[in-house]
Amino acid sequence: MGRKALYDEAAKKKKGPGRKAKKQKDPTFAFKLDDEGVSKKLSHRQKKRAMKRTIKKTEQLEKKNKKKNKGKESALLTSELVTVKGKNADKKLSGVPKNSIKPKPFTDENNSWLKPKKKKKEASDDESEDDVANGVDGSDASQEIDEGSDDGVGEEASDGSDIEEDASDEEDGSEQEEEEDGSEEEDGSEDEDDCKVGKLDDLIDDEAVEDDGSDEGDEESADEESGSDDEDMLPIEKAAKKLNQQQAIEREEGENELQLNIADREIFAFPDEEEIEKPLGIPETEQRIKDILMVLSNFKKFHDENRSRTEYIELLKSDLCTYFSYNRFLIDRLVDLFPLTELMDFLEASETQRPMTIRTNSLKTRRKDLAQALIARGVNLDPVGKWSKVGLVVYNSSVPIGATPEYLAGHYMIQGAASMLPVMALAPKENEKILDMCAAPGGKATHIAAVMKNTGTLFANDVNRERAKALIGNFHRMGIINSVICSYDGRHFTKVMTSFDRVLLDAPCTGTGVISKEPSVKISKDEVDVQRCCTLQKDLILEAIDAINPKSPTGGYLVYSTCSVLPEENEWVVDYALRKRDVKLVETGLDFGNPGFVSFRQFRFHSSMKLARRFYPHTHNMDGFFVAKLKKFSNAKFDTAKDDKSEPEVKDVDFIERTSDSEQESSEKPAKPKEPKVKAPKHGRGKNRAKVSLNGDDPTLAEKFPRKKEKFFAQAKPARFKVDGTEFAPKERKNKVPGGEDDIESRSTSKKNKLKKQKLEAKLAAKKEALAAREKSAEGSSDTTNKPQGKREAERADKSKNDARTMAPSAKPSPESQSVNKKKWKKNKNDLVPPESASNVTNGQKADESGKSSSPAQRDSGAKGVQKRPAENGLETAAKKKKKNNKKGPQQNSNPAQSSPGNVKVVSPSETSGSPQSQLAKSKKKQKKDKKKAQNVEAGLKTNSTQKTVDSHKKRKTKPAKV
């Protein structure tokens, strides 16, 4: 057996499906569909339809031909017409009975002209009339043709008519030849009528006619069409049609409106003053916010030419205030803090609650077990994220999360996700001594204890006793046994205990990061609140650092955290701590979160600030938080050197305020640094000199006072010269051109002091007159005209120095008596040698110098003079302050809250400037502080002693440990 090998065929054969699945061949039919073969006999109706088709075809053809020939027709010869006729006849010959129009049944297609029964009769009457009339015309035409064409054409025609006759005989014998001819003619000649009918009849005709480009207007036909349609429509159809039309209209309107809206959006018109004043609805406000944001997103493109960006932002701020119901201050801060898009995210995220998170108490249970127990109670939860091994997010719960038996048994703590971060950053170790300075209600503190596994000691402190009660409850519930809970002012905690391995300072803050939790923040906080918080935080952070043991083998760390997003409460405070104590920022150990600001607007923070971490509600879906970790290296306190700037370096501070201040004190400011040098040697010459030079050179200062730049340097430079003044003066004198720069400088400085001085001038006039007169007499009359101004002034100054010395700081000798030089004097009023500069110059030199008449000397002295007064003022005030302090001393000690915050001014512009004045003030403050500290220590000792008396000997025993 086996298969036969068909070698030849196998190659050819196409491999198909198996034998049994052989493909069926195409079917073959006995009859042929095509007209080639014998066609199947048509049914009656089929025949009718076929007739109709053919008639239509012929009609269309005729029409076409007519159209084509229309123009020509009139001019054409009859012979041609005959041919046309012949053609027609031919067509008729092709099998369609000519008068087949009549028996047409009533259909939808022809209903317009073919009416059922009654109407039909009338219609047929009309038609017959028409036919008669047409027939006449037609006969005429035929006659014409006949007349015109005597030749064979006539035969043809007759042939045609014969055929027609046959046809008519077949179907409708009643009709006459003529009529038939006429009707035929009618079809042809009366094109218009036909066309109309055709149009009304059916679409095919319609199209055909349109194709032909009939003369009739489309409108007419359309109207007719609709009219005719309406007549015959069912009510429901009519309604539907109406509805369609309405919808179309609406759609159109809608589109128009949309376009209008788009147009509105594209061109956001800045509202007028009045419009801004008007209260706006919430949705409108929202729209406007969006509009403004869009404008600001591409300011160049969209902004109104007449409006500046600040105006837009102002409007945006006010709108945000109304829309989110913030107060203006907070919105200002937030706008400063976030880019605009992020701002919206932040504000919106602050409206919605963060998901509830719980922290497993690892002392009592495991996360897995807890999750199971809670799921059994109908709680839907998930781990909070990879970063935490104890956190769980609760999505929804059928039972109150804060009252489950598991909660009461201390298996978990309800705590924001962000609150776990500081503890993670702190990374407590077992058997350490740890302090939580602001512990209530104990979320973080219990977390610390749990991480420590109940070993070591945890001090949980909170200043508020009421809140501390929450601490008790939570600590006991969570089963923490290594804790000491106390209520103490954190700013003085070092009195209780120091040498902690780690300190967590979750400082009290304005809470701008937890607006979703506490919406009252939106309107309740203002500048003062922030300042207070900031001050408090600075005190707390210093105290916290002081409480750390830098030599701790395991720790020596401080974690500073707040639930605020404002840099004033975060970076600024940390920056302050970096200046004041020997600490450095270290990695927090949190692998997410935004880095802290190194620079924020005009503030420049320490470059390591990027190690701090910021968390935002809109980016991390947790409360706004700030976490910074500091390592303490020694107990050193930089109260002096680094104290210069109690605030972060400021670049380009609020300009308006600054200038107004500085204008008032313009002449005074530069003088200050010198003052302590000369008159208050306590402060150390070298140090002060450094400050001065810093002031002169520091480019940041120049930026600070861009408008006054020239002035500032004009003053600052001489000030620097003055430091080395005595040495360089002679050299410069030689080179100096008298009355050049000096005058300009002095003029600039003097202008503002003119008024003040003039008053004093009057008082001093008498003395000076005398002096001047003496001078004149000595030098001779020539100097009034020929001598360079500077020289004269120098001489005068030198001579009047004694008087000047006696004068009050602002008092300058002005030689009013000399009417001739009055103006010049006024110009150089400030160039008078002030007491210090004068003191630099010995009496012996005086004469020589005056003889040489050096302008640099004057400049120096002048600068000194200008700067001198304020310095003296400063000193005086400082002295006063000192006195005050001495008086206040005890009080301040008694009120601990005041003492330290009082020293730290937060945003006083004079301080921020880092100007010599402020430095002076600070140096004074420093002294103050030292004193206070001494007093504090005394006070502390006192309290200790009292405690001792009250307390048992135990205390005394432990005391050395504390020290």
| Cβ distance to other proteins smaller for residue 356 or 622 | 356
| Cβ distance to other proteins smaller for residue 96 or 496 | 496
Closest CA to 517 of 711, 353, 344, 288: 353
Residue type, 748: S
Task: Report residue 426 as tokens.
Answer: 């702190």
CB 784 within 8 A of CB 820: yes
Q: In what order do the strands lie in the sheet with 391-397?
A: 379-383, 391-397, 356-360, 412-414
SS (H, E, C) 181-226: HHHHHHHHHCHHHHHHHHHHHCHHHHHHHHHHCCCCCHHHHHHHHH
Shortest distance in whole angstroms from residue 558 CB to other proteins:
19
Shortest distance in whole angstroms from residue 390 CB to other proteins:
19
Cα–Cα dist 28/44, whole Å:
27
Cα–Cα dist 963/955, whole Å:
12
Residue type, 129: E
Segment lying near other proteins (by CB under 8 A), choices 13-21, 52-60, 475-483, 814-822: 475-483
Cα–Cα dist 823/654, whole Å:
37
| Cβ distance to other proteins smaller for residue 163 or 496 | 496
Residue that the structure tokens 């501390």 belong to: 468
Pairing of the two strands 379-383 and 433-436: unpaired
Q: Would you call 163 helix, strand, or coil by DSSP?
A: helix
Does the footprint of other proteins cover residue 476 (CB under 8 A)?
A: yes
Segment lying near other proteins (by CB under 8 A), choices 346-354, 420-428, 477-485, 767-775: 477-485
CB 963 within 8 A of CB 944: no
Site for other proteins in 443-462 (CB under 8 A): 457, 459
Does the footprint of other proteins cover residue 378 (CB under 8 A)?
A: no
Convert residues 539-578 into a mask of x (bound to other proteins by CB under 8 A) and - (unbound). ----------------------------------------
Q: Would you call 547 helix, strand, or coil by DSSP?
A: coil
Backbone angles phi, psi at 954, to 5 degrees: -50, -45
Segment lying near other proteins (by CB under 8 A), choices 251-259, 349-357, 474-482, 617-625: 474-482
Cα–Cα dist 39/54, whole Å:
17
Task: Report residue 258 as tokens.
Answer: 């949309």
Shortest distance in whole angstroms from residue 521 CB to other proteins:
25
Known catalytic residue at 563: yes
| Cβ distance to other proteins smaller for residue 182 or 442 | 442
Shortest distance in whole angstroms from residue 478 CB to other proteins:
10
User: Which residues are known binding-site members for S-adenosyl-L-methionine?
Assistant: 438-444, 462, 489, 506
DSSP assignments along 121-185, one per residue: HHHHHHHHHHHHHHHHHHHHHHHHHHHH--SHHHHHHHHHHHHHHHHHHHH-TTS-HHHHHHHHH
Shortest distance in whole angstroms from residue 459 CB to other proteins:
7
Q: Would you call 41 helix, strand, or coil by DSSP?
A: coil
Residue that the structure tokens 């199971």 belong to: 372
CB 141 within 8 A of CB 189: yes
| Cβ distance to other proteins smaller for residue 496 or 907 | 496
Does the footprint of other proteins cover residue 595 (CB under 8 A)?
A: no
Task: Rule CB under 8 A: choose which of 86, 148, 154, 479 binds other proteins.
Answer: 479
Please report how many Cα atoms fall inside a 13 Å half-sphere around the Cα of residue 387, on the Cβ side: 17
Counting every residue written for the chain, the total comes to 963
| Cβ distance to other proteins smaller for residue 231 or 466 | 466
Shortest distance in whole angstroms from residue 457 CB to other proteins:
5
Task: Report residue 314 as tokens.
Answer: 């102002």
Segment lying near other proteins (by CB under 8 A), choices 144-152, 466-474, 669-677, 777-785: 466-474
Task: Report residue 851 as tokens.
Answer: 């003889």
Site for other proteins in 24-53 (CB under 8 A): none
| Cβ distance to other proteins smaller for residue 30 or 961 | 961
Site for other proteins in 885-944 (CB under 8 A): none
| Cβ distance to other proteins smaller for residue 490 or 739 | 490
Residue type, 815: P
Shortest distance in whole angstroms from residue 362 CB to other proteins:
15
| Cβ distance to other proteins smaller for residue 128 or 958 | 958
Site for other proteins in 386-445 (CB under 8 A): 402-403, 405-406, 408-409, 433
Which helix (H) or strand (E) is 614 found in, with range?
strand 613-615
* Residue 376, CA distances (Å) to 197, 363, 500 in order: 83, 21, 42
Task: Rule CB under 8 A: choose which of 11, 282, 950, 963 binds other proteins.
Answer: 950
The CA dihedral of 123, 124, 128, 129, to the nearest 10 degrees, is: -30
Does the footprint of other proteins cover residue 488 (CB under 8 A)?
A: yes
CB 100 within 8 A of CB 144: no
Task: Rule CB under 8 A: choose which of 56, 87, 91, 469 binds other proteins.
Answer: 469
Task: Rule CB under 8 A: choose which of 288, 359, 444, 477 binds other proteins.
Answer: 477
Closest CA to 546 of 892, 906, 959, 937: 937
Cα–Cα dist 311/297, whole Å:
15
Shortest distance in whole angstroms from residue 475 CB to other proteins:
7
Residue type, 68: K
Does the footprint of other proteins cover residue 475 (CB under 8 A)?
A: yes
| Cβ distance to other proteins smaller for residue 471 or 866 | 471
Cα–Cα dist 437/463, whole Å:
9
SS (H, E, C) 664-706: HHCCCHHHCCHHHHHHCHHHCHHHHHHHHHHHHHCHHHHHHCC
Site for other proteins in 320-349 (CB under 8 A): none
Q: Which of 195, 533, 534, 563 is catalytic?
A: 563
Cα–Cα dist 440/470, whole Å:
7
Shortest distance in whole angstroms from residue 401 CB to other proteins:
12
User: Which residues are known binding-site members?
Assistant: 438-444, 462, 489, 506
Does the footprint of other proteins cover residue 486 (CB under 8 A)?
A: yes
Shortest distance in whole angstroms from residue 955 CB to other proteins:
7
Task: Rule CB under 8 A: choose which of 61, 340, 393, 470 binds other proteins.
Answer: 470
| Cβ distance to other proteins smaller for residue 433 or 711 | 433
Cα–Cα dist 439/446, whole Å:
9
Which helix (H) or strand (E) is 594 found in, with range?
strand 594-595
Task: Rule CB under 8 A: choose which of 465, 601, 880, 887 binds other proteins.
Answer: 465
Question: With CB under 8 A, what is the number of residues at the site for other proteins?
Answer: 39
Site for other proteins in 800-829 (CB under 8 A): none
CB 613 within 8 A of CB 627: yes
Segment lying near other proteins (by CB under 8 A), choices 136-144, 889-897, 916-924, 952-960: 952-960
| Cβ distance to other proteins smaller for residue 839 or 958 | 958
Does the footprint of other proteins cover residue 773 (CB under 8 A)?
A: no
Pairing of the two strands 557-562 and 433-436: unpaired
Shortest distance in whole angstroms from residue 524 CB to other proteins:
26
Shortest distance in whole angstroms from residue 706 CB to other proteins:
52
Number of H helices, E strands in the chain: 41, 16
Site for other proteins in 495-524 (CB under 8 A): 496-497
Task: Rule CB under 8 A: choose which of 468, 585, 627, 804 binds other proteins.
Answer: 468
Footprint on this chain of other proteins (rule: CB under 8 A): 373, 402-403, 405-406, 408-409, 433, 457, 459, 465, 468-473, 475-477, 479, 481-488, 496-497, 947, 950-951, 954-955, 958, 961-962
Hey, which residues are catalytic here?
Answer: 563
